[in-house]
Amino acid sequence: MPATVFERYRSIIDDWDAFQASLIRPQPAALRVNRLKADPAALRARLEERGFRLEPYDWYPDLWRVAEEPFSPALTLEHWLGRFYLQEAAAAVPVLALDPQPGETVLDLSAAPGGKSTQMAERMGNRGMVVANDPDPRRLAALSHNLQRLGVTSAVITRADGRQFPGGLAFDRVLVDAPCSAEGNARRSARARQGVGRHQRRRLPAVQLALLRRALALVRPGGVVVYSTCTFAPEENEAVVDQVLRAAEGSVTVEPLPPALPGVAGVTAWEGQRFRPEVEACRRIYPHHLDSGGMFVARLRKRGPVPWEEPGAEGGGEGSRKASAARSGVPARPGTGWVEADAGLRQRVVAWLGEAFGLDESVLEGAYAYGNEDQGIWLAALPRVPGWEAVWSAGIRLVRGHGATWKPTSFGLMQWAAGATRNVVDLDRQELQALLEGRQISAPPEAPLVRRGWIVLRYRGHAVGCGFWDGQRLRSALPHERAGELLSILRREDEGR
């Protein structure tokens, strides 16, 4: 790999030769166990049975380096079911630095595709609220997909420019995993190896600074903000933190990261500029440290109101709450700024799950119902959600459509219907494969199909999604993309036999 783009960092990188050598080695995958859905020992045994060799990192035992892979871990049923998230090792550090706790209210200001939001919700045990925000609609689809795949019921997705993220909610912690020049991805991305142009080099720090300032206005006094990037450029890292510290006039301090976390100290000088000495407490992770990508992480604490904060509007004030149903799927109640879950709707859902699939109310323990005509019904582990215009969804969608004809979603059935006792079909590999290839099959004679309509498809005890029974034949109703992924997994399993 030509080192020219990174030559400018020669004086600050702790081991230049090791750094360069790491850039030309292929980057091993790493996977993070999702305890919301997986037992780590069982997952490890299952993957090792299939030929994967997994090495837990000592600073994060639920993150495993994939030392040997017979094929991509993305092509396993366990990945498809959300038992783990493929997250490169360095990218797992910011959430450990943030350290969100069960029951807290946490904002992920730049969340898509959801690596860190899913990690936060998992560490919080799906208790509390994760607000996962991103302004990019294409990336929001991936964010929603990943949150639902991993069984996150405690997240609200919002679509907003983080620089203008609405106030009114007291966040305990905020993560700013900022858009950046992504030089740390150089091992995986040709684009990252080319570096960014002069325009981006100038534009990005301004966006990053504005995001970090907004995060500090939004977090409650005493709360924590973590600022991270996956780039080496000090202009996007220590320089941004330095500017915020200067503007904050003592209301923000940098905190050291737990010593067990990987990396080296932040730099205090760059190209003639001297930064505040506190930025040394930031952490730089280079590819040669973890045999991963690169990362920069700063943990900041808000000691009191920041000078750029409008009194009353941020960090818990009521001032700027604005309610709207908009694109949310969660009807807002104007004036309150909060949308209460609909207890009546939940009762209808319970009755429907019982009647359609023989499930009892206990499967919905801790889940509250939200719904409207366009978006169907979402179930979230949240008794209320903020009524911002920016709210896109809350929790996991159980059905599309409304009124008399509810169509269950595959993610909804995967989450809540594994224990179905009626209108469910247990399929073997050939049967599931046939359905996913778009063929119709006869229902197995022992299947408890009691009426025509939507059914649960189950494979090896897992609800894998929605199907349809017309009284004689079965077909798949899985979304095209999910069906295609599962089909590739089954074909791969076939090859491995």
Ligand X SMILES: C[S@@+](CC[C@H](N)C(=O)[O-])C[C@H]1O[C@@H](n2cnc3c(N)ncnc32)[C@H](O)[C@@H]1O
Comparing CB distances to ligand X, the nearer of 214 and 384 is 214
Q: Mask 13-42, x = binds ligand X (CB under 6 A)?
A: ------------------------------
| Contact call for residue 374 and ligand X (CB under 6 A) | no
CB of 154 to ligand X, least distance (A): 17
CB of 96 to ligand X, least distance (A): 13
Q: What b/e readout covers 201-219, taking b as 16+ CB neighbours within 10 angstroms?
A: eeebbebbbbbbbbbbbbb
Contacts (CB under 6 A) with ligand X, residues 112-131: 112-116
CB of 94 to ligand X, least distance (A): 8
CB of 109 to ligand X, least distance (A): 6
Residue 476's DSSP bridge partners are: 467
- Rule CB under 6 A: choose which of 88, 104, 134, 431 binds ligand X: 134
- Rule CB under 6 A: choose which of 90, 109, 130, 489 binds ligand X: 109
Tell me the two tokens of residue 245.
């510290």
Comparing CB distances to ligand X, the nearer of 88 and 342 is 88
Note if 230 is an active site residue.
yes
- Rule CB under 6 A: choose which of 5, 12, 161, 338 binds ligand X: 161
CB of 147 to ligand X, least distance (A): 11
The answer to whether 66 touches 31, Cβ cutoff 8 Å, is: yes
The answer to whether 5 touches 195, Cβ cutoff 8 Å, is: yes
Residue 371's DSSP bridge partners are: 377
Known binding residue 111? Answer is yes
Which helix or strand (DSSP H or E) is residue 222 part of?
Answer: strand 219-229
| Residue whose structure tokens are 């892979």 | 69
Choose the stretch contacting ligand X; rule: CB under 6 A; options: 27-35, 156-164, 374-382, 488-496: 156-164
The answer to whether 292 touches 284, Cβ cutoff 8 Å, is: no
State the Cα–Cα distance between residues 252 and 374, nearest whole angstrom.
43
Size of the site for ligand X (CB under 6 A): 19
- Helix, strand or coil for residue 436? helix
Q: Write the DSSP symbol of residue 267.
A: P
State the Cα–Cα distance between residues 65 and 52, nearest whole angstrom.
10
Residue 232, C-beta contacts closer than 8 angstroms, at least 6 positions apart: 6, 9, 13, 183, 184, 284, 286, 294, 296
Contacts (CB under 6 A) with ligand X, residues 170-199: 177, 179
- Rule CB under 6 A: choose which of 111, 186, 218, 380 binds ligand X: 111
Comparing CB distances to ligand X, the nearer of 117 and 433 is 117
Residue 474's DSSP bridge partners are: 441, 469
State the Cα–Cα distance between residues 10 and 458, nearest whole angstrom.
55
Write out the E strands in 146-216: 155-158, 171-177
Comparing CB distances to ligand X, the nearer of 109 and 341 is 109
Choose the stretch contacting ligand X; rule: CB under 6 A; options: 160-168, 356-364, 402-410, 479-487: 160-168
- Tell me how far the alpha carbon of residue 471 is from its chain's centroid: 40
Closest CA to 188 of 298, 91, 284, 108: 91
Known binding residue 426? Answer is no
Comparing CB distances to ligand X, the nearer of 177 and 431 is 177
- Rule CB under 6 A: choose which of 50, 139, 193, 301 binds ligand X: 139
Q: Which of 180, 230, 282, 466 is catalytic?
A: 230
Known binding residue 115? Answer is yes
Choose the stretch contacting ligand X; rule: CB under 6 A; options: 47-55, 135-143, 379-387, 445-453: 135-143
State the Cα–Cα distance between residues 360 and 283, nearest whole angstrom.
49
| Contact call for residue 88 and ligand X (CB under 6 A) | no
| Residue whose structure tokens are 């995958």 | 29
- Rule CB under 6 A: choose which of 14, 39, 48, 136 binds ligand X: 136
The answer to whether 253 touches 303, Cβ cutoff 8 Å, is: yes
State the Cα–Cα distance between residues 493 and 337, nearest whole angstrom.
49
Comparing CB distances to ligand X, the nearer of 87 and 423 is 87
Helices (H), 99-165: 115-123, 137-149
Comparing CB distances to ligand X, the nearer of 92 and 417 is 92
CB of 323 to ligand X, least distance (A): 22
CB of 117 to ligand X, least distance (A): 7
| Contact call for residue 110 and ligand X (CB under 6 A) | yes
Closest CA to 326 of 371, 284, 388: 388
Known binding residue 177? Answer is yes
| Contact call for residue 386 and ligand X (CB under 6 A) | no
Comparing CB distances to ligand X, the nearer of 100 and 412 is 100
| Contact call for residue 162 and ligand X (CB under 6 A) | yes
CB of 232 to ligand X, least distance (A): 14
Residue 358, C-beta contacts closer than 8 angstroms, at least 6 positions apart: 420, 421, 422, 423, 448
- Helix, strand or coil for residue 381? coil
| Contact call for residue 163 and ligand X (CB under 6 A) | yes
Q: Which residues are catalytic?
A: 230
Contacting positions for ligand X (CB under 6 A): 109-116, 134-136, 139, 161-163, 177, 179, 207, 211
Binding residues for S-adenosyl-L-methionine: 110-116, 134, 161, 177
Binding residues: 110-116, 134, 161, 177
